[in-house]
Structure 1
């Protein structure tokens, strides 16, 4: 499984527009092939910073979403609201054997 976290900083006045967009599209994103989980986090100290936390079957599934018409609709609309470049990273869960 691939875990994807994207940190997004918005102009404070753009936060309501982002939340409207996220809530309007979150179910469609969750229904993308290979998407197992999607949630939105808000930074505890900076209320204009949000994170998407998603789980994908693998990188191929994530890239499939990134090439989809839905992503082509959601990402440009989201990017217009940023006040700083986004920061994204992918990771894998590690099981520690004791």
Structure 2
């Protein structure tokens, strides 16, 4: 499982436009092959900062989405609303059991 977080800072006057893009595409993204979960988060202190938080079955699934026609429509529409470059990263869960196992091997 791959967890993808994308942090986006929007021009204040463009937040509504972003929410329209998100609302119009969220179901398609969530239904994309390999997407297990996707939600939108808003920064607690800055209402112009949003993050998408998504779970993908694999990096291949995420990359397939990033090469898709859907992404080719959603990303350019979103990108033109930014006030700063986005920050994206991928992670994996590191459960307590794996922490304990890793420490035992050290």
Count of residue pairs brought into register by the alignment: 98
Q: Distance in 2 between matches of 1:39 and 1:21?
A: 14
Q: Which residue of 2 aligns with 1:83?
A: 83
Equivalences for residues 1-98 of structure 1 within 5 A: 1-97=1-97
Q: Secondary structure at the match of 1:27?
A: helix
Q: Which of the pair has more CA radius of gyration?
A: 2
Q: Distance in 2 between matches of 1:76 and 1:94?
A: 33
Q: Residues 22-66 of structure 1: CA distance to partner in whole angstroms, max 9, x if unpaired? A: 011000001111000000000001100000000000100000000
Q: Which has the higher helix share?
A: 2
Name the TM-score, length of structure 1 as normaliser.
0.98
1:76 shift after superposition: 0.4
Name the TM-score, length of structure 2 as normaliser.
0.91
Q: Distance in 2 between matches of 1:96 and 1:41?
A: 25
Q: CA RMSD in A?
A: 0.7
Q: Secondary structure at the match of 1:40?
A: strand
1:21 shift after superposition: 0.6
Q: Distance in 1 between matches of 2:21 and 2:54?
A: 17
1:95 shift after superposition: 1.2
